[in-house]
Chains A and B, each alone.
Chain A
Amino acid sequence: MSDIHINIIDREGVIHKIMAPTDMNMNLMEVIRSFELAPEGTIGICGGMAMCASCQCYILSNHELPEMGDEEEAMLAEAFFVKENSRLGCQIFIASDLEGLELEIAPES
């Protein structure tokens, strides 16, 4: 399996073009952490259980994403700075059909 290109805008507005592996069962939150694009302790606080919304992202490209589960939907209903294109990074797993994905990390809250 090959890596995919992802463009991530961090909380300071800086664009990072990164390569994410599709074979490590990683999600977007973990990719952001592995590239240190948000300070530790400000993202992935619950570890990836859709229970804290610290990994909220705005999806900027038109990729078809996995459908939102109940837990993610409920968490986003209580998150702050939520937009139409908000998703929890921990619920989106890196797969080859996400090649070229563009996203912005939502503000810390």
Chain B
Amino acid sequence: MIKTDILIIGAGPTGLFAVFEAGLLKLKCHLIDALPQAGGQCSEIYPKKPIYDIPAFPEILAGDLVSNLMNQIEPFQPGFTLGERAETIEKLDDGSFIVTTEKGTKHHSKIIAIAGGLGSFEPRKPPIPNLSNFEDRGVEYIIRDPEFYRNKKVVISGGGDSALDWCIYLTNIAESVTLVHRRNEFRGALDSVEKVQELKNSGKIELITPAEVVGLFGENKVEGVSIQIENEIVQKECDHFIPLFGLAPKLGPIADWGLEIEKNAIKVNNALDYQTNIPGIYAIGDVNTYPGKLKLILCGFHEATLMCQSAYQRIFPDKRYVMKYTTVGGVEGFDGSKKEAPKAVVKSID
């Protein structure tokens, strides 16, 4: 069981900055995120896009903002459970919580800070009528173990990096790889597109464009797909169909945790500390809502700061504390590091 002072669900910018503010109060944090890397939307959707409204940064790329935050929180040694989605929450008699991921990893904490953005990123599923009947019976949205496809016939659809990259990777493993895309153009990185072109020329990948997988057939598992090519539908035998259309955020299991939800977001007390209707559970950043809410990174930073002060009081109700400026108190890391302002040199005049 992972134990921590504040369990943060969501490792986007707000969740990451909460680690810093908690660290100043000597509170340790652990973060859970469904994505395999930290940074939330900034890393997953728009790492190369500039952001212009981070105070004191006239312009910063979303990916760089995440790297900077990771550097800033490094002294506070946060723990990470990445690639796992927070699934269930259980409240213990002492008021603390156990949060379990879908892979069964358990986390124990007195304070839960949900910084889940628009939710956990789930694969986008194409609207093929009988798709759900074949899930885990030949339809996979995520490739967990490429060896699973050894000597199998695989059809992949999509036009982005993951579709191209997996096509390239699986040519050495699968019996056959077919890529179906609605256009002749691909959105992925140029060298991936060129590599797929090469593999197509040498007959290692079958490329079907412009076309779309519109149906699946098979008795108990996928035995083939129906592909619409212009006005014609052709059937193609295969063992696996892997639609790779990127990820979209869904609020997911958190919606069933007994929290007050409004407009797909968690209602919080913004007059005080961004606590939800369940004491000890806070919601900060894009995942929360209150009158006048703005989904901005800078608002998330503010909310994270106030949440940490309140969490400290909740963990140590008898301790007195006043907020300290980092310029005065410096930053003392849990790793023994210390950053502080240099002392002024006082010199006398003879």
Tell whether A80 pairs with B127 under 8 Å between CB atoms, given A45-B118, A51-B46, A54-B248.
Answer: yes
Q: In the complex the two chains form, is A78's CB within 8 Å of B263's CB?
A: no
Q: In the complex the two chains form, is B185's CB within 8 Å of A40's CB?
A: no
Asked whether any CB of chain B lies closer than 8 Å to the CB of A52, the reply is yes
Asked whether any CB of chain B lies closer than 8 Å to the CB of A109, the reply is yes
- Selected from A42, A45, A49, A82, the residue in CB contact (under 8 A) with B49 is A49
- What is the total number of residues of chain A having a CB less than 8 Å from a CB of chain B? 19
Question: Within the complex, what minimum Cβ distance (angstroms) separates B261 from chain A?
Answer: 10
Asked whether any CB of chain A lies closer than 8 Å to the CB of B314, the reply is no
Q: In the complex the two chains form, is B182's CB within 8 Å of A52's CB?
A: no
Could you tell me which residues of chain A, from 44 to 84, have a CB within 8 Å of some CB in chain B? 45-46, 49, 51-52, 54, 73-75, 77-78, 80-82
Could you tell me which residues of chain B, from 147 to 163, have a CB within 8 Å of some CB in chain A? 158-160
Query: Which B residues are CB-close (under 8 A) to A13?
Result: none
Q: Can you list, as one digit per residue, whether each of A90-109 has a CB less than 8 Å from chain B (1) or not (0)?
A: 00000000000000000001
Query: Which A residues are CB-close (under 8 A) to B124?
Result: 80, 109
Q: In the complex the two chains form, is B182's CB within 8 Å of A40's CB?
A: no
- Selected from A40, A52, A78, A82, the residue in CB contact (under 8 A) with B159 is A78
Q: In the complex the two chains form, is A41's CB within 8 Å of B264's CB?
A: yes
- Selected from A45, A77, A81, the residue in CB contact (under 8 A) with B127 is A81
Q: In the complex the two chains form, is B183's CB within 8 Å of A77's CB?
A: yes
Sort chain B's interface into a size bin.
Answer: 20 to 34
Question: Within the complex, what minimum Cβ distance (angstroms) separates A52 from chain B?
Answer: 7
Q: In the complex the two chains form, is B46's CB within 8 Å of A46's CB?
A: yes
Query: Which A residues are CB-close (under 8 A) to B185?
Result: 73-74, 77
Q: In the complex the two chains form, is A80's CB within 8 Å of B181's CB?
A: no
A20 to B46, CA, bound (A): 28
> What residue in chain A is nearest B247 (Cβ atoms)?
A52
Query: Which among A45, A73, A75, A78 has the greatest number of chain B C-beta atoms within 10 A?
Result: A78
Question: Within the complex, what minimum Cβ distance (angstroms) separates B286 from chain A?
Answer: 9
> What residue in chain B is nearest A79 (Cβ atoms)?
B245
Query: Which B residues are CB-close (under 8 A) to A82?
Result: 182
Query: Which A residues are CB-close (under 8 A) to B245?
Result: 78, 80
Q: Can you list, as one digit per residue, whether each of B313-350 has a CB less than 8 Å from chain A (1) or not (0)?
A: 00000000000000000000000000000000000000
Question: Within the complex, what minimum Cβ distance (angstroms) separates B181 from chain A?
Answer: 7
A48 to B59, CA, bound (A): 18
> What residue in chain A is nearest B210 (Cβ atoms)?
A77
Excluding A41-B265, A73-B185, A77-B183, 16 further A-B contacts by CB distance (< 8 Å) are A40-B263, A41-B251, A42-B264, A49-B45, A51-B46, A52-B45, A74-B187, A77-B182, A77-B185, A78-B159, A78-B182, A78-B246, A80-B245, A81-B127, A109-B124, A109-B248
B-side residues, CB < 8 A to A, are 41, 45-46, 49, 118-119, 124, 126-127, 158-160, 181-183, 185, 187, 245-246, 248-249, 251, 263-265
Shortest 9 CB-CB contacts between residues of A and residues of B: A41-B264, A74-B187, A40-B263, A77-B183, A77-B182, A80-B127, A40-B264, A78-B245, A78-B159
